[in-house]
Structure 1
Amino acid sequence: MPFDHNDRYHRLLLRQMPRSCGTALDVGCGTGRFARRLAGLNVEVRAVDPSEEAIAAARALSEGISSGMVPRFEHGDVTELELPKGHYDFISCLASIHHMPFDTVTTLRDALGPGGVLVILGCHPEKTWVDWAWSLTAVPVNAVTRLAFALMDKIRPTSAGSGRDLARAPVAQPTMPLFQIRQEAAVLLPGFTLRRLLFWRYLLVFRNSS
């Protein structure tokens, strides 16, 4: 299906960017759709993913960009990279934080410059009745939305530049429930905000006030 849950929230994530954003890090960039949107806003983007196939596809898809900035795609595991401290204005993690220990957020936090923003579009399993209630709400909306996108794709086929057929990043099921994410974030990211989103996602935002 052409509908992608993470793409659905790109605009929401971009609204969290600081006004004067010059440098960004996209963690778990996949085939680079969000990284390219960031670069299209004249932001210098470093995009990292542990999948060689995804990075190869991201680079191939970026070759056709004729104007503006192009993300710097890098094959690597962010838990093993040495990130520059106090450097980035904006750090994004789209459905990738559950692929690594949650305390990796401390490394990302320390890589933010003054006024920098860390945004996490995360996935979480259903563990409580509130989780299941949200899930029950999302199921019919998800089905209708997928059907609508499938119909639109038949009328107006997806362009080759989408990258949907070039590569798919490895998928892992989330294991940390939302209440535990809140508990750990309270210690590691003081002052954070977290809100539930439809389609089995949450948005966590941390702003570096130093």
Structure 2
Amino acid sequence: MPFNHNDHYHRTLLRLLPDGCRTALDVGCGTGRFARRLAALGIEVDAVDPAAEAIEAAVAEGGGPRFHHADITRMELPEGRYDYVSCLASIHHVPFGTVAALRDALAPGGVLAILGCYPERSAVDYAWSLAAVPVNAAARVAVAARESRQRPESTQAPVKPPEMSLEEIRREADVLLPGATVRRLLFWRYLLVYRKA
């Protein structure tokens, strides 16, 4: 697949970096593409993924982040350590309550940015999916030539289908991340943003 839905939103996620961001945690980093983009900005990045093969590929690629083969639900995260915490299509691999530990790991003024996936359940979900199909097809065609000239990425992180509906995510976020915003995006994604006071 020449068009990567998560990579498409990298710029959106980078615009959410708080001013003066020095430290970041990338949860479910896979082979490290987004973590490397953060590190390229001079940010000290810890990148975590439970898939050993993804971390091995990330370490082989290099690029500055500290890559950790670990399960985020079992890690003891330092409280108030990170200015920015990102989760790209990874939060649905763990209990949603994990966001409480990520929230607590944020420094004052820090930002938690979740690019998440949700299953289609409502008429609105299906309408957005229908709208995404032609855009998705056009994007794939537009990038196919460029991608075919690049070295293909052979390692892929494990994929799990999402289970929580967008409404369930909003309800849980209201409890665990008061003041967070959740908005629907194209390409079967949502963006949750929480700023720590």
CA distance in 1, matches of 2:194, 2:171: 14
Give the equivalent residue in structure 1 for 2:42.
Answer: 42
TM-score, structure 2 length as denominator?
Answer: 0.98
Count matched residues: 197
Question: How far has the Cα of 1:145 moved from its partner?
Answer: 1.1
Describe how 1:21-170 pairs up with structure 2 within 5 A.
21-62=21-62, 65=63, 70-154=64-148, 157-158=149-150, 160=151, 164-165=153-154, 167-170=155-158
The residue type equivalent to 1:15 in the other structure is: R
Alpha-carbon distance in 2 for matches of 1:152, 1:81? 39
Task: Tell me the secondary structure at the aligned position of residue 79 of structure 1.
Answer: helix
Structure 2 Cα separation of the partners of residues 85 and 3 of structure 1: 36
- SS of 1:7 mapped into structure 2: helix
Written as runs of structure 1 = structure 2, the 5 A alignment for 1:185-204 is 185-204=173-192
Task: Tell me the CA shift for residue 182 of structure 1.
Answer: 0.3
RMSD: 0.9
Identity of aligned residues (%): 64
What CA deviation, in whole Å up to 9, does each residue of 1:142-186 have, x standing for no partner?
Answer: 1121122113334xx01x4xx622x10000000100000000000
SS in 2 for 1:141: helix
- Give the structure 2 partner of residue 181 of structure 1: 169
TM-score by length of 1: 0.92
Listed as ranges, the gaps of 5+ residues in structure 2 are none
Q: What does 1:15-26 correspond to in 2, within 5 Å?
A: 15-26=15-26
The residue matched to 1:190 in structure 2 has which SS? coil
Report the AA paired with residue 105 of structure 1: V
> How many Å separate the matches in 1 of 2:146 and 2:49?
30
Which whole-Å CA distance do the structure 2 matches of 1:18 and 1:152 have between them?
32
Q: Which runs of 5+ in 1 are unaligned?
A: none
Q: Residue type matched to 1:164 in 2?
A: E
CA distance in 1, matches of 2:118, 2:182: 13
- Please give the alpha-carbon distance, in whole angstroms, between the structure 1 residues aligned to 2:145 and 2:39: 30
* Cα separation, 2, equivalents of 1:207 and 1:93: 14
Q: Which residue of 1 aligns with 2:193?
A: 205
